[in-house]
A and B are shown apart, each in its own frame.
Chain A
Amino acid sequence: MDPDLALLLNGIVSGLLLGGLYAAAAAGLAVSFGMLDIVNIAHPALMVAGAFAVVVISTATGIDPLLAAVLQAPLFWLVGAGLYSFYNRAFERRGDEALHGLAFFFGIMFIIEVLLVMYFGADQRFVEPPYAYVTWRLGDIDFPLRMLVPGAVAMAAIGALALFLKRSFAGRAIAGVAQDPEALRLLGIDPVRIKRLAFGISVALAGVAGGALVVVQPIDPWSGHVFIGRVFAICILGGMASLGGTVIAAFAFGVVENLTATFYGPSWSPAVAFGCLLLVLALRPQGLFGTAP
């Protein structure tokens, strides 16, 4: 195969694999930011906290990091539910979530990062599951398991969430609370309880995404920063509340970013996130797949 073509194809494939990780990171946000309208900018920081928790669990017990990530999800659900209860009591009821709610999550993000630095230091951490250095080859194209396995786990988690939202009563209530909390109240459902459930799920997803993150790349307490622009861009690009749109946007994003890194050098790739985000905001704020502005 022509080496340039092989480079391009490899760039696209590993971009898609990277997109799996981005989908994991953004799916939780599609629930909290997209459906509940809670601008949780601490989401990437929670994800990094999940990654550190995975490092601790899997080095202590020797279990697979992705299994650890799934096992710790209930714990993160509790954290999320607690955060939402506080957020609701302190901001939503008072009606000033716009300015103060944002500042609140910004402060939470900051506290998480500083705590991580104080506890783990500024060094990079990583895990080495047995498949970390295995690469499947298909002709000239590489499929590193280090990327493929977390991507598959992320897709499974998102699929499960989509099924839950579509099929279960509580899942449908979550979709409903975004559109009309009053109607939910008329049905005898407490919107606050539904939102707490949903926000807990979004943070649990952040915990799972953390496991995927630490398998893919080494982490430090500030790894979340570069994800903030990315996940919000993906979320908006995907049309906010749509999980399918979010996944497609994540793949597109991974490919664009990875091709930039391949052809212009990795130090330029963070700028791609911002460029895409600004373009989307300026040209199509309802996202690629959304309808109403």
Chain B
Amino acid sequence: MSEAALAAPPGLAAPPRGGHAVFWGGAALLAVALIAALRLLHNDYAWFAGYFILQYVVLASAWNLLGGYAGYVNFGAAGFMAAGAYTTIVLRKALGLDLLPCIAAAACVSGLLGLGMGWLTLRLRGVYFAIATLSLAVVLHTIIVNWDYVGGSRGAYVVPSRDTAPFVTHGEYVFVVMLVLAVLAVGIARMVEKSRLGLGLAAIRDDERAAEAAGVPTLRLKLIATTLSGALMGVAGAPLPHYSAYLNPEAAFSLAYGVNAIAMPLIGGAGTWAGPVIGALLLGTLQQAATVMISSALNLLVVGCVLVAFVALAPHGIIGLFRGARR
């Protein structure tokens, strides 16, 4: 057996159970510190840049639940995310609902979408699932473009509410919402990783037939992971209309979401809860800086090249590099 095959499952060398209280406490402290620091900075742009990066923390963690742990590639992250975003628009237009109930609804819609997709294709080889997710984004895009109620290809406006107390600005409000969601997403990913579900998914990734033979209910575990992953992607998209105040299909289904959802976990280290966070912070900051300083096309080129370089040279991401160095 080759060196690489032996080093394959970094997630399996999981630390002992527990430590949840430490994680949640630390995450909460970090979040509060972050909000306080940004308040001191007193710059509205900082909230928006922070939101931009945090939405990718959620999206990348969601992708990692299925892609990293079980090894099933989802190319349609943009589709799931847009489903969440348009759930917000529909509910706001139809019922005048505020952001928070919309997030819950978006989780349900995208989760069901994931369940349906998985139910149709997960019995087949992973490749079929990957291709089906890619096409799902296309069909959802088509439906939204043809759906006049949500603005069709012209897009829809979401007027932000004036009353954002106890938050100073609207930017701070959406940032804090996304921060809470990011902490939840990472926490869920971490819990999955340390649970029997995570072990089962890792078994599927390493050898699905062997896992099946050993009594792992592979299809059920995959369906749970797909649903959870889809729901979290919807959650990542739900606040998007409030963030940008205007949403059109082009922006909601942007390929950048699909690419980043894959690139960030792979660069950080797929199959570990911290990997997507590292990848999202790194690539998100890089892109935010590149968009401000260079052109947006160039910043996407950087992402593409970094992705290719990492999957070829460092298949276990930054975390893998560190683990490799320690070994």
Provide the B103-133 mask, 1 if CB < 8 A to any CB of A, else 0: 0000000000000000011001011101110
Say how far A86's CB is from chain B's closest CB, in angstroms: 7
Which residues on the B side are within 8 Å of A222 (C-beta)?
A: 255
Give the distance in Å from the alpha carbon of A99 to the alpha carbon of B271 in the complex.
12
Indicate if the CB atoms of A111 and B301 lie closer than 8 Å. Answer: yes
Say how far B2's CB is from chain A's closest CB, in angstroms: 7
Whether B315 is near chain A, meaning CB under 8 Å from some CB there, is: yes
In terms of DSSP, what is the predominant structure of the interface of chain A?
A: helix
Chain A: how many interface residues by the 8 Å CB criterion?
45
Q: Which residue of A lies closest to B136 (CB)?
A: A274
Which residues on the B side are within 8 Å of A96 (C-beta)?
A: 4, 8, 315
Whether B219 is near chain A, meaning CB under 8 Å from some CB there, is: no
Indicate if the CB atoms of B124 and A281 lie closer than 8 Å. Answer: yes
Say how far A206's CB is from chain B's closest CB, in angstroms: 17
Q: Which residue of B lies closest to A279 (CB)?
A: B120
Identify which of B134, B136, B143, B307 contacts A107 (C-beta below 8 A).
Answer: B307
Q: Which residue of B lies closest to A90 (CB)?
A: B312
Whether B141 is near chain A, meaning CB under 8 Å from some CB there, is: yes
Give the distance in Å from the alpha carbon of A267 to the alpha carbon of B248 in the complex.
16
Whether B195 is near chain A, meaning CB under 8 Å from some CB there, is: no
Indicate if the CB atoms of A273 and B308 lie closer than 8 Å. Answer: no
Which residues on the B side are within 8 Å of A268 (C-beta)?
A: 142, 146
Provide the A242-279 mask, 1 if CB < 8 A to any CB of B, else 0: 00000000000000000000000101101101110110
Identify which of B130, B145, B146 contacts A102 (C-beta below 8 A).
Answer: B130
Indicate if the CB atoms of B120 and A111 lie closer than 8 Å. Answer: no
Which residues on the B side are within 8 Å of A107 (C-beta)?
A: 259, 263, 304-305, 307-308, 311
Whether A106 is near chain B, meaning CB under 8 Å from some CB there, is: yes
Indicate if the CB atoms of B255 and A110 lie closer than 8 Å. Answer: yes
Indicate if the CB atoms of B142 and A271 lie closer than 8 Å. Answer: yes
Which residues on the A side are within 8 Å of B134 (C-beta)?
A: 41, 228-229, 232
Indicate if the CB atoms of B71 and A100 lie closer than 8 Å. Answer: no
Indicate if the CB atoms of A103 and B311 lie closer than 8 Å. Answer: yes
Indicate if the CB atoms of B138 and A270 lie closer than 8 Å. Answer: yes
A282 touching B120 in the complex, CB below 8 Å, given contacts A94-B315, A110-B303, A110-B307: yes
Whether A156 is near chain B, meaning CB under 8 Å from some CB there, is: no
A106 touching B262 in the complex, CB below 8 Å, given contacts A39-B127, A95-B4, A99-B71: yes
Indicate if the CB atoms of A118 and B304 lie closer than 8 Å. Answer: no
Whether B5 is near chain A, meaning CB under 8 Å from some CB there, is: yes
Identify which of B71, B135, B262, B270 contacts A277 (C-beta below 8 A).
Answer: B135
Which residues on the B side are within 8 Å of A267 (C-beta)?
A: 142, 145-146
Give the distance in Å from the alpha carbon of A274 to the alpha carbon of B259 in the complex.
20
Give the distance in Å from the alpha carbon of A273 to the alpha carbon of B138 in the complex.
9
Which residues on the B side are within 8 Å of A111 (C-beta)?
A: 301, 304-305, 308
Q: Which residue of A lies closest to B67 (CB)?
A: A99
Indicate if the CB atoms of A285 and B301 lie closer than 8 Å. Answer: no
Give the distance in Å from the alpha carbon of A108 to the alpha carbon of B127 in the complex.
17
A271 touching B5 in the complex, CB below 8 Å, given contacts A98-B126, A114-B301: no
Q: Which residue of A lies closest to B1 (CB)?
A: A95
Indicate if the CB atoms of B8 and A236 lie closer than 8 Å. Answer: no
Identify which of A91, A115, A118, A278 contacts B132 (C-beta below 8 A).
Answer: A278
Indicate if the CB atoms of A94 and B132 lie closer than 8 Å. Answer: no
Whether A117 is near chain B, meaning CB under 8 Å from some CB there, is: yes
Whether B33 is near chain A, meaning CB under 8 Å from some CB there, is: no
Name 21 A/B residue pairs within 8 A (Cβ), A-sorted: A41-B130, A90-B313, A94-B2, A95-B2, A99-B67, A99-B71, A103-B266, A107-B263, A110-B300, A111-B305, A226-B138, A229-B131, A233-B135, A268-B142, A271-B143, A275-B139, A277-B131, A278-B121, A281-B124, A282-B120, A285-B128
Q: State the B residues within 8 Å of A (CB).
A: 2, 4-5, 8, 67, 71, 73, 75, 120-121, 124, 126-128, 130-132, 134-136, 138-139, 141-143, 145-146, 255, 259, 262-263, 266, 270, 297-298, 300-301, 303-305, 307-308, 311-313, 315
Counting from the closest, the 5 A-B pairs by CB-CB distance are A229-B135, A274-B139, A107-B308, A110-B304, A107-B307
